[in-house]
Structure 1
Amino acid sequence: MRSTLGAPLLLLLLLAAGSDGTGAEMDRKPNFVLMMVDDLGIGDVGCYGNDTIRTPNIDRLASEGVKLTQHIAAAPLCTPSRAAFMTGRYALRSGMASAGRAQVLLFLGGSGGLPASEGTFAKRLQQQGYTTGLVGKWHLGVNCERRGDHCHHPNQHGFSYFYGLPFTLFNDCMPGEGSDVMADLQVTLRHMAIILGVGLFTLVCVRASGLLEVSLWLLVSLFLISILATAVWYVPFKLLPTWNCIIMRNQDVIEQPMTVETLPQRLLGEAQNFVRRNSDRPFLLFFSLAHVHSPLFETPAFAGKSRHGCYGDNLEEMDWIIGKLTETVDSLGLANNTLMYFTSDHGGHLEDANSRIGQSGGWNGIYKGGKAMGGWEGGIRVPGIFRWPGRLAAGTVVDEPTSLMDLYPTLKYLAKDTLPDRLLDGHNLMPLLEGSVKRSEHEFMFHYCGVYLNAVRWHPPGI
């Protein structure tokens, strides 16, 4: 009698345990892997029409998920576009748009940056129990009033872990590439210092020879002015690799200046390790690649392999990096519970080239304009690819206006964040991605360059 009752009881206990485990698995919040490339043109990618550059891994993401054909950056430059992406709001709202000549952060030692009061999707998900990480480029500021206050640092904006460039990758970071920070101002300051120096030397010679009576006070004044002019040119500009080109792990500087040659491999390794460390809990990884911003990498394994010189080599290396991170997610059995997203912060840099390697910027397909070119489509239309096996139908194409700002409300929705928020300019993309609606919620999309409105896209209801 005891054995007859024991078997059904044991079976019921096992079924109950199995049922609880399945429920827990189903209730687990999804992971997010957001991959953003720097200065990539929409025409650079195979699945968006390029048939001369090999991007099989990005193309695979599109074939296994959803491709957006009208995905729009909120600005044609790094800092304002990334601020809008992180906050779900136009950069104008957070003060991250400029009316001046420099519309991106140019000096890591400056006090500008994303305000501490501004919300980010990382901060919202952190409050929902997510482990959050940023690997790669930030470019939204570090300090406010003094060195080390880190008020704009990624750790203060919701990222539990940060490894990478708190600034960006500039030509100044690589020896022999020259400088691309206010180059004309540098030339003016250098010429001014040289002219003052030559003038001072001439007057000293004239006084020493007795040809003319030259006041000692004039010589002293010219000497001090020459020293000041040289300092104004040399300190901020010639020392840019020391000021700007650094690598941080959380709030510690671990390289100053950075070693550019090994940067791609290290960023990939950090991204893979973050996924592995957090595979048993909900996580958000923002993988913000240094590719394909100039200066271009010259990785031996990819050098000379493409049909488009160094720029093409960099694109194919970037695609390989995307493939390795995707492989890591899949090998850990996380694919069906992970939303992967691929995009660029804005369009390709059409005017970037040099005599040594030729083309250094991207191709924006049929669209006119590029990086820093206001409301022209080439500067703001970017790739937008989502993959989530089992949730998003493979091979779907959405031909509706969408924005980088849509990621913020989409992640909030998927993380079940229902807490009150500020006014957002983005919209939850899941109904579009899953096919439950056919129209984007964007009626108007405003295209800014700095604080100036350059164009407006109207998507009238019912049309």
Structure 2
Amino acid sequence: MKSLLWIRWTLGLLLLCTADADSGRKPNFVFMMVDDLGIGDLGCYGNTTLRMPNIDRLTLEGVKLTQHIAAAPLCTPSRAAFLTGRYPIRSGHFFFYRNSERPFLLFFSFLQVHTGLFASPLFRGRSQHGLYGDAVMEVDWSVGQIMQTLERLNLKENTLVYMTSDQGPHLEEISINGEMHGGYSGIYKAGKSTNWEGGIRIPGILHWPGVLPAGKVIDEPTSNMDIFPTVLNLAGASIPSDRVIDGHDLLPLLQGQVERFEHEFMFHYCNAQLNAVRWHPPNSNAIWKAFFFTPDFYPENSSACFHTHICLCIKPYVTFHDPPLLYDLSKDPTESTPLSPDTEPQFYSVLEVIRAAVSHHAESLKPVPVQVSPLQIVWKPWLQPCCSSLSQLCTCERDHQIEKLRNELQKE
């Protein structure tokens, strides 16, 4: 029930903020990020057992990215990259084990389908995949509610909608009754907390009628870091010049102005350790991926880490590789067969280019404070954003208006 109330409250707030939208102004933005959703959970990415008509419709009317990569395989670093357009290591996000006159940006961050799972009564028992499947179906319903509201407010034609996940599914989650509460990575290997494709290849669906082509599929490597510069350019704002921005404006690629995107290299971190590198050479269809270390799965014949509940990237839970494991994702997207000098004539030359790119990338990094240390993540009341007084701590007039709206929605 809490999910239904939350989505209705959000839609009501959207209604208050956008009642008199002007179609001639700069675009609006609606971003929907599901937590721990697997790319294989969605019908538009191949799932045949979960019904998701709203997300499927969003895909048919928009652009689908098939190699959309999360900048990190864990929640906080991935979201930090999405919000800043930068690798999370640049901003210290890693662990050491309105009004109607202005365009709006709505970032709807789903609680689902992270653990502990829940589904509202209307969705319980409706899927073939237990509580997890029920929750995914509820996510689809929520997407539909947001899209219907945009249409009702005549905002659909002037709004860029982006739907994604923060990383791959949490495969090791099992309920006390033995029910699997994890998602599905499709054909891709492993899941959350790993830099195998199942951990970082995420849904990437962008919808903007009349601006983006309907039903287009793009196979170029892209990143959730690309949303930040895309929004800045569409909003007429300047890209910050005082820091490195790792993302690139997606619009030329989405509209077909270019066929190749700007990500020649992508650097995949596991916390503060560089785990893998992806290289998409110019004038080549190859997508090389080199692993410097990989997590030790348990059981060994699985692609998950049930002994630690989630895969770790510290000794003794990883295996280092010298030379690195090398794959060509254009031929082996499942990462099932590592290449060798005997099977790939370019083996050493590819690794040489990747190592040079790593050195160049390392030179661009500057030491920063760790933002997710215990001292940083403890709740600090004095940092609570509010306009309150001592007698009414963190209580604002706007809060009363929102509470009134929520009560009205609950009565309906």
TM > 0.5 between the two? yes
Deviations 1:276-300 (CA, angstroms, capped at 9, x unpaired): xx55530001000101001111411
Question: How far apart are the structure 2 equivalents of 1:325 and 1:57?
Answer: 10
Aligned equivalent of 1:384, options 182, 197, 204: 204
Relative to 1, partners in 2 of residues 1:462 and 1:297: Cα closer, same or farther, differing over 3 Å?
same
Given that residues 64 and 394 in structure 1 are in contact (C-alpha distance below 8 angstroms), is that contact kept between their aligned partners in structure 2? yes
Q: Equivalent residues in 2 for 1:403-418 (5 A)?
A: 403-418=223-238
1:407: Cα distance to partner? 0.5
Relative to 1, partners in 2 of residues 1:69 and 1:419: Cα closer, same or farther, differing over 3 Å?
closer
1:458: Cα distance to partner? 0.3
Question: How far apart are the structure 2 equivalents of 1:431 and 1:298?
Answer: 39
1:360: Cα distance to partner? 0.9
Runs of 4+ aligned residues of structure 1 deviating over 3 Å after TM superposition are 24-27
* 2:260 aligned with 1:446: no
Unaligned stretches of 5+ residues in structure 2: 1-20, 285-412
Which stretch shifts more, 418-427 or 287-296? 418-427
Question: How far apart are the structure 1 equivalents of 2:198 and 2:269?
Answer: 14
Aligned equivalent of 2:32, options 28, 31, 35: 35
* 2:91 aligned with 1:94: yes
Q: Equivalent residues in 2 for 1:314-353 (5 A)?
A: 314-353=135-174
Question: How far apart are the structure 2 equivalents of 1:377 and 1:419?
Answer: 30
1:359: Cα distance to partner? 1.2
The two structures, once aligned, show a CA RMSD in angstroms of: 1.5
Indicate the percent of aligned positions where both proteins have the same amino acid.
Answer: 63
Given that residues 310 and 357 in structure 1 are in contact (C-alpha distance below 8 angstroms), is that contact kept between their aligned partners in structure 2? no
Deviations 1:401-420 (CA, angstroms, capped at 9, x unpaired): 00000001000110011364
Deviations 1:204-263 (CA, angstroms, capped at 9, x unpaired): xxxxxxxxxxxxxxxxxxxxxxxxxxxxxxxxxxxxxxxxxxxxxxxxxxxxxxxxxxxx
1:361: Cα distance to partner? 1.1
Question: How far apart are the structure 1 equivalents of 2:178 and 2:138?
Answer: 17
Q: Equivalent residues in 2 for 1:182-221 (5 A)?
A: none
Amino acid at match of 1:431: P
SS of 1:382's partner is: strand
Indicate the residue corresponding to 2:371 in structure 1: none
Q: Equivalent residues in 2 for 1:290-301 (5 A)?
A: 290-301=111-122
Bigger RCO of structures 1 and 2 (CA < 8 A, at least 6 apart): 1
Amino acid at match of 2:170: H
Question: How far apart are the structure 2 equivalents of 1:379 and 1:396?
Answer: 24
Amino acid at match of 1:441: E
- TM-score norm. by structure 2 comes to 0.62
Deviations 1:133-176 (CA, angstroms, capped at 9, x unpaired): xxxxxxxxxxxxxxxxxxxxxxxxxxxxxxxxxxxxxxxxxxxx
Q: What is the total number of aligned residue pairs between the two structures?
A: 263
Indicate the residue corresponding to 1:46 in structure 2: 43
Q: Equivalent residues in 2 for 1:355-366 (5 A)?
A: 355-356=176-177, 358-366=179-187
Given that residues 279 and 332 in structure 1 are in contact (C-alpha distance below 8 angstroms), is that contact kept between their aligned partners in structure 2? no
Aligned equivalent of 1:283, options 104, 111, 116: 104
Given that residues 119 and 138 in structure 2 are in contact (C-alpha distance below 8 angstroms), is that contact kept between their aligned partners in structure 1? no
SS of 1:378's partner is: helix
Relative to 1, partners in 2 of residues 1:355 and 1:26: Cα closer, same or farther, differing over 3 Å?
closer
SS of 2:210's partner is: coil
Given that residues 298 and 310 in structure 1 are in contact (C-alpha distance below 8 angstroms), is that contact kept between their aligned partners in structure 2? yes
Question: How far apart are the structure 2 equivalents of 1:96 and 1:52?
Answer: 36
Question: How far apart are the structure 2 equivalents of 1:337 and 1:299?
Answer: 32
1:97: Cα distance to partner? 1.5
Relative to 1, partners in 2 of residues 1:330 and 1:57: Cα closer, same or farther, differing over 3 Å?
same
Aligned equivalent of 2:220, options 397, 400, 424: 400
Question: How far apart are the structure 2 equivalents of 1:419 and 1:326?
Answer: 29
